């Protein structure tokens, strides 16, 4: 019966599928019919707006239909499926199967009937089993086809499409509202108004105290003309704008209830809520500035904007109402304020500028009030340094600096930093004193005696200034880097000589131009003599002449000062008579220039005045002084050129010796290379160029010297050096062949040693030639000076004889013309002496400026004597002759002293280095005082001899001399002579009468006066040298005046009582000087140090000189003012000099 059981199971499965199919079909039909019914009833309500009773009937009717359909179509099949209720049996199932499988219908029914009849026989059972076996393979379930239910989906699709159309049309809400009315059938509904109110505001909330604008729009087929709002029983009209009605609630403090009305349409009741807002009542910022800024703390109210120095501590203090939170917002961070009751605080140190906002919040509002501010942090700037540099007018390597340094708060330190250019790691710092304010000025000089500089070293240096920044640490700023070379003594001397040469060339150009301009002066003098007044053209010429002369004098003064400074710098530790002589000449030349400048000033003042005679006198004086200056300057320049040639020869000889030493060292060195030899060759080539230039300078001298140059020897040295270089190059090329290389190196060494020896030989030759040349020249000059001195004495004696002759004759005497002719011949004779002295002055410093001045005075007075005697002005003419004779005697004395100095120099005592002396300083002065006393005794003897015959002429001479001395160079002086000439002449005539027949005695007396005068000059020279050695120059003003008066008395009056009184006055001054020397109490070694110290102390301090270069003075310390940063910037701009 196994097969039959299978048949039963298959039937069970069929029945289950059968009811499942019915359930699916019923569900589809139930949903479809329900939706159609829903749509139909809702449509009726949408359009008809049924009453409540009808809606109740429709609701329950629809509900009953739905329940019936649910029972019939869903619950019945479901109960049969789950066998809750009875369904079809096997037989009915076989009928359904038979309709689908006709071929098995009978078999299946037969089996079921047999089984139902209870067959027991084996045959029947076998028959049932057999038939069941045949039906086992038939799939009964196939008889049920679920796909047949798809046709019922059409019924479901119709309502779904209808609902989709309603939703797309936008009537979904209206349609659903009709459904809601059906469900709520008990509620009474009225048909909708023709329009309805819509509030456009997103919410009906307003912050307390704020205004609120209510925006309302009506929706519907009809648009009302007016809309009203009812607030607390009062109605207000809304304003229409672009289809929107609005009403403004002003300053809402409490909640408001309102309704909208239009026609008969009334809205529901709305409520406008007033909510609390966070309120910021006050804000303060307490600024605590960094201590180093020296600014007091301050508080700012009502704003969060501020400009503060870097590192300022800022404390915000905010008072609020109804505020729960205050937040500091910036791009980098958010910081919440700390709260205490209704006050919020925040403290932070501000180092950077920031744009920030402060926001307030409470439970109702988040970040309700956001206030934007900015804090500008003024960075502590780097200190600034503005530097000006000027080079010394005389020493170009000397730099002067004037600096302005500023900082925004305070300067703390200024340093000079210098270091060797070869070793930048080791620096030396020198602090410069400045005022500790925010602005300072300073002056500095580099180099100066406070700096420890090594000779032969290249230095770099700069200035560095520091501020007082405590936030970031002290900051500094540097100036640009300057360079300087501390020259060696040889380099310094060479450079000094170059500067001297340049200054001499410039002075020579100025002298040449001055000589050319003097022609204009002489032309103006001639015009002034001939015409009563100068015309406009001549006045313009005078004006231009004065202007040019002023400029030229100033330039000559500057060049002289430069030359003088160079002489001081040239080997200052050595005592060189020639250099000292040139320094003294330069100083006197500067004084002469200043004197001429004063004369020019007087000329400038007189040019527009009518006083023709005074103008002519000033022109004459200036012409005379100008000639003196020309002559002295010409001699000075020639002597300076000779000095340059001598010193340059010495330096070149020294450089040759140094080069010879280097050449010898290289020949013995292990690293003997062609490259090093080439460098020595280049050095010698440079020396040859310097020698060639020196020869040219020597040839330009009026009396060239023998400087010992030897072209042949120079060529030999050149050849030896070149051959040595070639041998070294060959040795280097043949380095692989050791024998050949060594042989060539030995040859090179021999050539190098030869070159070294020849260099030494050339150096010695230059030194010896210069020395022998100077000695020969000195001997020639001494012979020439001796001859000039003899001729000058003869000239003086003859001039005296002519003067006595003119005094004793009238202009009507027939011999007057012959005497006048002899005076003219005497003038020509003196011109020969003048020319000889001029030539001599060009090569020996023994002919001083005083000699040139005396020559000019003699020439001037000879010309005046001829001019006056030719005009029969005998008294004036003899007065000029008197001065001629006096100046001739003075000139003879000077030349005699110069001759003695030449002799001493030739003997070797004039080497320029003073001999040391022992004992106290006063001992040498004692010797000089004793010599002075002996000279006074000789004067007393001379006075006794000539007492009877020379007293009156002495008185006449005194009067004439007193009047003439001060006026010897001008017409004013000569007028003075004329004023007393009558008295002088009478006395002279009287004296002459007594001396008739005794001319020889008179000449003997003049010779004695001259010998005394000569001894006095020697004594004075000794005294001046001793004063200079002792450093007592400041105590000799009265002594110098006494000596000047003594010599004047001696020359003008001879031996007299006044002369002896002057001798006593001089002795008194000498004793005072000796006392001062003894009080000084220093020996020679100590004295040398003292002189050096005095030189240093007397030299102008470099600090003051630096200030002088920039015309600066000390400024008051500018105290830091409590300025706002923006004003501080303007102040800095002003002090930087950038203000317009």
Summarised one tens digit per residue, pLDDT across range 227-272 is: 999 998 889 999 998 889 999 999 888 899 999 998 878 888 899 9
**Residues 12-21: pLDDT tens digits?**
777 788 888 8
Distance CA 62, CA 37 (A): 8
- Where does residue 465 rank: exposed (0-12), middle (13-18), buried (19+ CB within 10 A)? buried
**pLDDT tens, 964-985?**
333 344 333 333 333 333 333 3
Over residues 787-812, the mean pLDDT reads 85
pLDDT score, position 872: 85
Whole-number pLDDT of residue 907: 65
- pLDDT for the residue numbered 609: 54
Q: In the prediction, which pLDDT does 966 show?
A: 36
Confirm if 1046 and 1059 have CB atoms less than 8 A apart: yes
Decide if 10 contacts 140 (C-beta within 8 A). yes
Q: In this structure, are strands 228-231 and 256-262 parallel, antiparallel, or unpaired?
A: antiparallel
Q: What is the pTM of this model?
A: 0.44
**What pLDDT shows up at residue 286?**
94
* Phi–psi pair at 1000, nearest 5 degrees: -65, -40
Element (H, E) at 414: strand 411-420
Hey, which bits of 479-606 come out as E strands?
482-486
Q: Which two tokens stand for residue 39?
A: 């749509």
How far CA 849 is from CA of 591, 790, 894, 900, 1024, in Å, comes to 12, 21, 11, 17, 17
Q: How far apart are CA 12 and CA 726, in angstroms?
A: 133
Q: Identify whether the C-beta of residue 324 lies closer than 8 Å to the C-beta of residue 305.
A: no
Element (H, E) at 160: helix 153-169
What average pLDDT does the chain have? 76
Best CA proximity match to 182, nearest among 66, 61, 43, 56 = 56
Alpha-carbon gap, residue 834 to 319, rounded angstroms: 107
- Closest to 1067 measured CA to CA, from 870, 943, 926: 926
* Contact status, residue 253 vs residue 273, Cβ threshold 8 Å: no
Has residue 43 got a pLDDT over 70? yes
Closest CA to 849 of 639, 564, 600: 639
Tell me the chain's radius of gyration from C-alpha atoms.
67
Q: What gap in Å lies between CA 219 and CA 278, rounded to an integer?
A: 38
Q: Choose among 523, 516, 514, 524: nearest CA to 559.
A: 514
Q: Count of H helices and E strands in the chain? A: 27, 28
The answer to whether residue 1115 scores a pLDDT higher than 60 is: no
User: Which range is least confidently modeled, 360-369, 431-440, 983-992?
Assistant: 983-992
pLDDT (0 to 100) of residue 116 = 64
> How many other C-beta atoms can be found within 10 angstroms of the C-beta atom of residue 469?
26
- 428 - beta bridge partners? 418
End-to-end CA distance of the chain: 130
User: What's the confidence (pLDDT) of residue 1083?
Assistant: 44
Q: What is the arithmetic mean of pLDDT over 460-485?
A: 91
Structure tokens at 175: 């349609």
The pLDDT assigned to 195 comes to 81
pLDDT tens sequence across 619-671: 667 666 667 667 777 767 777 777 778 778 888 888 888 888 888 888 888 88
DSSP state of 73: I
């Amino acid at each position: 019966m196994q097969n039959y059981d299978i048949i039963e199971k298959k039937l069970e499965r069929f029945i289950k599928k059968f009811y499942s199919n019915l359930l699916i079909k019923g569900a589809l039909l139930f949903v479809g019919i329900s939706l159609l019914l829903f749509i139909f009833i809702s449509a009726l309500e949408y359009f008809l707006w049924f009453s409540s009773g009808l809606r109740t009937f429709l609701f329950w009717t629809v509900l009953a239909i739905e329940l019936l359909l649910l029972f019939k179509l869903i619950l019945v099949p479901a109960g049969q499926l789950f066998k809750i209720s009875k369904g079809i049996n096997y037989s009915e199932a076989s009928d359904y199967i038979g309709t689908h499988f006709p071929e098995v219908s009978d078999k299946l029914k037969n089996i079921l009937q047999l089984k139902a009849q209870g067959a027991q026989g084996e045959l029947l059972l076998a028959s049932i089993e057999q038939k069941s076996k045949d039906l086992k393979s038939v799939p009964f379930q196939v008889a049920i086809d679920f796909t047949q239910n798809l046709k019922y989906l059409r019924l479901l699709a119709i309502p779904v499409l209808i609902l989709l159309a309603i939703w797309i049309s936008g009537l979904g809400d209206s349609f659903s509202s009709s459904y809601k009315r059906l469900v709520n059938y008990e509620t009474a509904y009225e048909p909708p108004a023709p329009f309805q109110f819509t509030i456009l505001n997103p919410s009906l909330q307003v912050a307390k105290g704020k205004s609120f604008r209510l925006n309302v729009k009506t929706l519907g087929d009809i648009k009302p003309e007016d809309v009203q709002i009812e607030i607390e029983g009062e109605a207000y009209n809304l304003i229409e704008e672009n289809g929107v009605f609005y009403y403004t609630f002003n300053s809402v403090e409490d909640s408001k209830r309102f309704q909208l009305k239009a026609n008969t349409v009334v809205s529901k009741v709305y409520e406008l809520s007033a909510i609390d807002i966070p309120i910021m009542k006050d804000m303060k910022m307490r600024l605590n500035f960094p201590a180093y800024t020296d600014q007091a703390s301050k508080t700012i109210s009502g704003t969060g904007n501020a400009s503060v120095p870097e590192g300022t501590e800022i404390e915000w203090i905010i008072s609020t109402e109804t505020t729960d939170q205050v937040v500091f917002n910036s791009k980098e961070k958010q910081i919440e304020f700390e709260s205490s009751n209704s006050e919020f605080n925040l403290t932070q140190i501000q180092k950077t500028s920031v744009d920030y906002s402060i926001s307030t919040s409470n439970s109702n509002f988040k970040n309700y009030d956001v206030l934007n501010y900015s804090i500008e942090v003024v960075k502590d700037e780097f200190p600034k340094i503005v530097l000006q540099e000027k080079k010394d007018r005389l020493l170009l390597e000397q730099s002067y600096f004037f600096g302005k340094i500023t900082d925004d708060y305070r300067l703390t330190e200024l340093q000079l930093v210098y270091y060797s250019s070869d070793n930048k790691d080791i620096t030396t710092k020198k602090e410069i004193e400045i005022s500790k304010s925010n602005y300072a000025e300073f002056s500095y000089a580099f180099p100066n005696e406070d700096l420890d500089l090594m000779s032969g070293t290249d230095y770099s240096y700069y200035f560095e200034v520091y501020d007082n920044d405590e936030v970031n640490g002290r900051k500094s700023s540097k100036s640009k880097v300057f360079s300087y070379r501390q020259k060696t003594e040889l380099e310094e001397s060479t450079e000094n000589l170059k500067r001297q040469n340049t200054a001499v060339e410039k002075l020579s150009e100025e002298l040449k131009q001055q000589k050319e301009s003097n022609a204009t002066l002489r032309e103006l003098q001639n015009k002034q003599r001939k015409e009563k007044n100068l015309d406009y053209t001549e006045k313009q010429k005078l004006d231009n002449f004065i202007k040019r002369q002023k400029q030229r004098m100033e330039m000559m003064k500057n060049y002289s000062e430069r030359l003088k400074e160079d002489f001081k710098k040239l080997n200052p530790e050595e005592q060189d008579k020639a250099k000292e002589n040139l320094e003294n000449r330069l100083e006197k030349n500067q004084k002469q220039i200043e004197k001429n400048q004063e004369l020019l000033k007087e000329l400038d003042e007189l040019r527009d005045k009518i006083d023709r005679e005074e103008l002519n006198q000033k022109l004459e004086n200036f012409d005379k002084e100008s000639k003196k200056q020309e002559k002295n300057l010409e001699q000075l320049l020639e002597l300076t050129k000779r000095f340059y040639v001598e010193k340059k020869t010495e330096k070149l000889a020294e450089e040759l010796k140094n080069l010879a030493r280097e050449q010898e060292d290289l020949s013995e060195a292990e690293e003997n290379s062609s490259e090093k030899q080439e460098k020595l060759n280049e050095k010698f080539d440079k020396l040859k160029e310097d020698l060639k230039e020196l020869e040219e300078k020597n040839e330009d001298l009026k009396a060239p010297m023998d400087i010992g140059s030897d072209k042949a020897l120079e060529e030999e040295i050149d050849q030896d050096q070149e051959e040595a270089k070639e041998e070294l190059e060959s040795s280097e090329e043949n380095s692989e062949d050791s024998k050949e290389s060594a042989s060539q190196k030995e040859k090179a060494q021999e050539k190098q040693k030869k070159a070294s020896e020849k260099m030494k030989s050339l150096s010695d030759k230059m030194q010896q030639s210069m020395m022998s040349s100077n000695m020969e020249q000195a001997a020639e000059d001494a012979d020439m000076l001796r001859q000039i001195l003899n001729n000058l004495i003869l000239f003086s004696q003859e001039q005296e004889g002519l003067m006595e002759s003119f005094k004793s004759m009238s202009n009507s005497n027939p011999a007057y013309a012959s005497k006048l002719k002899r005076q003219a011949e005497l003038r020509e004779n003196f011109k020969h002496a003048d020319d000889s002295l001029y030539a001599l002055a060009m090569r020996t410093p023994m002919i001083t400026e005083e000699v040139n001045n005396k020559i000019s005075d003699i020439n001037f007075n000879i010309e005046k004597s001829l001019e006056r005697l030719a005009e029969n002005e005998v008294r004036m003419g003899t007065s000029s002759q008197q001065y001629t004779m006096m100046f001739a005697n003075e000139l003879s004395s000077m030349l005699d002293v110069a001759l003695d100095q030449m002799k001493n120099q030739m003997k070797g005592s004039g080497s320029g280095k003073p001999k040391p002396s022992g004992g106290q300083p006063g001992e040498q002065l004692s010797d000089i005082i004793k010599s002075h006393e002996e000279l006074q005794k000789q004067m007393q003897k001379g006075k006794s001899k000539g007492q009877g015959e020379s007293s009156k002429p002495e008185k006449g001479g005194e009067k004439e001399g007193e009047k003439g001395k001060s006026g010897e160079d001008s017409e004013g002086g000569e007028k003075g002579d004329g004023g007393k000439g009558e008295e002088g002449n009478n006395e002279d005539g009287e004296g002459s009468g007594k001396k008739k027949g005794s001319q020889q005695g008179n000449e003997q007396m003049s010779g004695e006066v001259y010998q005394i005068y000569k001894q006095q000059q020697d004594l004075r020279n000794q005294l001046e040298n001793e004063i200079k050695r002792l450093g007592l120059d400041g105590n000799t003003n009265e002594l110098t005046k006494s000596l000047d008066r003594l010599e004047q008395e001696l020359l003008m009056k001879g031996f007299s009582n006044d002369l002896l009184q002057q001798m006593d006055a001089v002795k008194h001054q000498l004793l005072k000087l000796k006392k001062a020397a003894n009080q000084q109490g220093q020996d020679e070694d100590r004295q040398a140090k003292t002189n050096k110290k005095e030189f240093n102390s007397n030299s102008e301090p470099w600090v003051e000189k630096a200030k002088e270069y920039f015309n600066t003075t000390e400024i008051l310390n500018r105290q830091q003012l409590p300025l706002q940063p923006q004003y501080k910037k303007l102040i800095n701009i002003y002090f930087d000099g950038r203000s317009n």
